[in-house]
Every structure is written in C-alpha cells, then in structure tokens.
Amino acid sequence: MEAFSSRLQEAGLKSTKQRDLIVERFFELDKHINAEELLEDVRGHQPRIGYATVYRTLKLLVEQGFALPKDFGDGQTRYDPIHNQDPQHDHLICVDCRKIIEFNDEELARRLHTIAEGMQYSIRRKKLELYAECQIPRCPNKLG
Amino acid sequence: MEAFSSRLQEAGLKSTKQRDLIVERFFELDKHINAEELLEDVRGHQPRIGYATVYRTLKLLVEQGFALPKDFGDGQTRYDPIHNQDPQHDHLICVDCRKIIEFNDEELARRLHTIAEGMQYSIRRKKLELYAECQIPRCPNKLG
DNA sequence: CTATGTGCAAAGGATTTGCAGGTAT
DNA sequence: ATACCTGCAAATCCTTTGCACATAG
C-alpha cells in the first residue's frame, strides 16, 4: 500500500525489503492475524526475518493508523488491517468454532453516538465484540 | 459474599482466610481492579499473601461467574465484579484520563440482539468499550 | 486423615529492548 | 555520512506452575 510508504517518508522512516514485505503480506492476507502467523508467512519469502522486525512493523502500522490491535481473549494480540475505504466494523465471534464475522450497522452507530453524547463524550474509537452461538441446528461449524 | 462461599462448598472447594479476604476486598473495592492492585490492598491486611494466591482466587471468581476479565489495552487483565442484581453493563473509557464509566442502554441491547439474529446467531456475551474524549472544555480530568 | 490451598521461586508465553553490524537516503 | 533498521539473544512483563508445607472439612 503506497499510502503507507508515503507516510513512512513523511515521518523520516525508511523503506526496507523486510518492512515492505511484512506490510505487503499483512494487507494481502487481510485477516485478524497475530505476530507469529505473520512471521511464519513472511519467512516463506525471506527466511531470516526475525520476531522483532515483525513486532516492530506491526507497531508501526498501528501508530500510523493502518492496523488496529485486537484482543479476542486467546492470549495473543491480533491485528486488523484498516483499508481506508471501509468504515470501522465490529466483530461477532462464534463461541463454538471461533469463526470471526465482521459487521457494520448504521443504527447501532447512531445509538452509540447518542449514548456517548448523553454522557458528554465524543467517541474516538470503539471495541465491540459479540460472542455468540450459531442458531442453526447441527451447524457444520460447530466443533467438538 | 455468601453466594460465593456456598458455590465453593458445592464444588468441594475450601474456604481459607486468604481466599475469603481476597474475595471480600474484591467486592468491597468494587472497581476494575487488576491482580497487582488487589494484592497490594490485601497485603495491607495479611502481608504474607502471594501473587499466586490472588491470581488463583481471581481465576476461581471468573470460573464461578462472580467476575469478568477485561482487557482495556493497558497490558494487564482487569476484573469486573458481577453483582448479580445488575444487568451486564458496557464501558466508556476516557482517552484523556483513563476514567472508566459504566453504562447500560436498553435500545442498544435490542439493536445488538437484532443484529445477531439477522446473522443467525444468539449472543452469549459481549464486549463493548467506547474510547472517548470528554466534550467539556478544560475538563478537569484531562491529563498532561 | 487426605484433598485442597498456600507461599515461594522458577517457568512460561508474548512482546520489547540492547547491541553490533547492515543499509537506505 | 548518518540516521534508521535488522537479527539475534537477552530482558521484561504478566501470569501460571511445581513443590514442600499447612490447613480445612
């Protein structure tokens, strides 16, 4: 993503082949990935890349507003790529199979805005996760 | 809380003075506390209590449904006591002073229910946090 | 009695940092 | 040239575990 490259330049930071690869793969994979998974993927292209570089690049992406750290309660931080076209979505996590579904709801957004306003606050960002069970009997996603 | 004591007995677990103290203080303090803060408080009463006991007791409280672990992104797990009278609330976190405000909204709850239903899911639990900025000019809570 | 709990210290897992080279600009 | 980056390993932070002793039921 060239938006990221130009942001780097503005900040006086450098473009390196490791960093570029990590960022490229991060956006191509386009899922709620964690550092370990990203490292593994990236090592398929450049085997000598280390943990530190992946963590440092992810932190950079977060600082520059290209990724959002997420904690789904499994002990590791996952990172959600921000494609600047899409509005910020929420998540529904299946309690049975751990599938993560993204959603967006205008009415919900309006309500949250109203709630915050009522308390004299303006929302900067939010975290909304619904942990839910599939209603379909004998759902194919169900584990165990 | 005696509800907790009886739950312990049912599970064949024991009541000890450390455990009782930790649980008592946890509910008295009644805030989004982390293990370290709770340990510190409890050591004011029994200086020899160790980290492990606090962590083990908190885990017990969570397992038995008396506390909810929360991650507000500051690297530590905080625990929210569940007073069985109150319905499960959400949080608004001030991005300036980190104050945590609890809230409840019926219309919001209905909307979330509708959203999940539309995707063929039933909500088991949710995590909703609004990170927001105070609208009051020169808010006294503002840091820095 | 004997299963469960405690305190300590050591282990664990995820993430960060220090350092001695590398390498973009 | 000279910041900035990298890889490695060591360090750090929060949390869990192993173990020998203590204690509740």
The edge-to-edge listing of strands for the beta sheet with A33-34 is A33-34, A77-81, A67-71
Listed in sequence order, the residues at least 6 apart from B72 whose beta carbon sits closer than 8 Å to its beta carbon are B32, B78, B91, B93, B100, B129
B143 within domain boundaries: no
Q: Are residues A56 and A77 in the same domain?
A: yes
Q: Are residues B77 and B99 in the same domain?
A: no
Give chain A's domain count: 2
Of A117, A124, A132, the CB nearest to B116: A132
B82 in Cβ contact with B67 (< 8 Å) = yes
Q: Are residues A106 and A41 in the same domain?
A: no
More confident residue, A11 or B34: B34
DSSP, res B38: H
- Give the pLDDT confidence of B69-96 residue by residue, as tens digits: 998 888 899 999 998 666 788 999 888 8
- Give the pLDDT confidence of A37-63 residue by residue, as tens digits: 999 999 999 999 999 999 999 999 999
State residue A14's pLDDT score.
93
Distances (CA, A) of A76 to A22, A95, A126, B75: 18, 17, 19, 11
Look up the CATH number of the domain holding residue B106.
3.30.1490.190
Cα(A15)–Cα(A32) distance, integer angstroms = 24
A72 within domain boundaries: yes
Q: Are residues A70 and A28 in the same domain?
A: yes
A75 within domain boundaries: yes
Residues with CB under 7 A from strand D: A 8, 12-14, 16, 18-19, 46, 48-53, 56-57; B 9, 14-17, 34-36, 51-52, 55-56, 59, 75-77
Instruction: Tell me the pLDDT of chain B (144 aa) as tens digits.
Output: 788 998 898 889 999 999 999 999 999 999 999 999 999 999 999 999 999 999 999 999 999 989 999 988 888 999 999 986 667 889 998 888 888 899 999 999 999 999 999 999 999 889 999 999 988 776 666 654
Domain housing B14? 2-81
Q: Are residues B14 and B53 in the same domain?
A: yes
State residue B144's pLDDT score.
47
Contact A129 B126 (CB under 8 A): yes
B67 within domain boundaries: yes
Q: Are residues A12 and A77 in the same domain?
A: yes
**Distance from the Cα of residue A64 to its chain's centroid:** 13
Q: Are residues B12 and B58 in the same domain?
A: yes
Helix (H, G, I), strand (E, B) or coil at A45: coil
A27 within domain boundaries: yes
Contact B120 A136 (CB under 8 A): yes
Chain position carrying tokens 């939010």: A126
Look up the CATH number of the domain holding residue B52.
1.10.10.10
Q: Are residues B77 and B11 in the same domain?
A: yes
Rounded distance in angstroms from the CA atom of residue B51 to the C1' atom of nucleotide C11: 15
Q: Are residues B70 and B106 in the same domain?
A: no
Contact A123 B108 (CB under 8 A): no
Q: Are residues A39 and A110 in the same domain?
A: no
Which 80-99 residues of chain B touch chain A by CB within 8 A?
Answer: 92, 94-95
Rounded distance in angstroms from the CA atom of residue B13 to the C1' atom of nucleotide C2: 14
On whether any CB of chain B is under 8 Å from the CB of A120, the answer is: yes
B141 within domain boundaries: no
Q: Are residues B38 and B94 in the same domain?
A: no
Question: pLDDT grade, residue A144 (50/70/90)?
Answer: very low
State residue B25's pLDDT score.
97
B141 in Cβ contact with B134 (< 8 Å) = yes
E strand or H helix at B129, and its extent?
strand B121-134
**Of all nucleotides in the shown strands, which has a C1' nearest the CA of B9?**
D25
State residue A86's pLDDT score.
67
**Distance from the Cα of residue A111 to its chain's centroid:** 24
- Which backbone phi and psi does A33 adopt, to 5 degrees? -95, 155
On whether any CB of chain A is under 8 Å from the CB of B68, the answer is: no
Question: pLDDT grade, residue A28 (50/70/90)?
Answer: very high
State residue B85's pLDDT score.
63
Q: Are residues B14 and B76 in the same domain?
A: yes
Task: Using the C1' atom of nucleotide C7, identify the protein residue whose alpha carbon is closest.
Answer: B50
B92 in Cβ contact with A121 (< 8 Å) = yes
State residue B140's pLDDT score.
65
On whether any CB of chain A is under 8 Å from the CB of B113, the answer is: no
**Residues (84-113, chain A) with CB within 7 Å of strand C atoms:** none
Contact B127 A131 (CB under 8 A): yes
- Give the pLDDT confidence of A62-97 residue by residue, as tens digits: 999 899 999 888 888 999 999 866 678 899 988 888
